[in-house]
């Protein structure tokens, strides 16, 4: 009986190492592109509000206007820039002072508490803004 001390097995770790490298690269690129999409400036600047519906909604095109957006969390944006109530008042005052025929379009999410809308309307009334439009979608 012959007992051999060596075996004729050839272990190759090249395929295991290559698979590990490829999977690590996949995870790295997946996370990188996911973060790039999440924090994309184009995506962040896009404010989506669900406007209420109205039967008499018409399209208004005016180059001399200020856009105020109230999100369903109650945040107020002026021309897609987050502002506090005090900043809103100051900026609208400056815009109205420079241009007395200023038209304001208020875009409020349909789930916003009415108190938030009244607060913005009160600010506009206090500043003497008379040309006010409230945005809605057609039914």
Domains of the chain, first to last: 53-138 (3.30.420.270)
Band (122; pLDDT cuts 50, 70, 90): very high
Is the pLDDT higher at 109 or at 6?
Answer: 109
Q: Environment class of residue 109 by beta-carbon count within 10 Å: exposed (0-12), middle (13-18) or buried (19+)?
A: buried
Q: What is the percentage of the chain residues whose pLDDT exceeds 90?
A: 21
* This model's pTM is above 0.85: no
pLDDT of 47: 62
Q: What is the pLDDT at residue 94?
A: 92
């Amino acid at each position: 009986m012959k007992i051999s001390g060596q075996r004729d097995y050839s272990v190759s770790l090249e395929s295991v190492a290559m698979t590990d490298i490829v999977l690590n690269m996949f995870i790295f690129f997946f996370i990188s592109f996911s973060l790039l999409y999440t924090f994309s400036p184009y995506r962040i600047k896009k404010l989506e509000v669900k406007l209420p519906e109205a039967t008499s909604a018409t399209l208004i095109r005016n180059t001399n206007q200020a856009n105020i957006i109230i999100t369903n969390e109650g945040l107020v944006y002026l021309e897609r820039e987050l502002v506090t109530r005090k900043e809103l008042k100051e900026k609208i005052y400056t815009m109205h002072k420079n241009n007395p025929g200023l038209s304001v379009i208020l875009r409020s999410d349909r789930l916003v508490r009415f108190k938030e809308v009244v607060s913005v309307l009160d600010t506009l009334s206090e500043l003497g803004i008379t040309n006010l439009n409230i945005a809605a979608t057609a039914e």
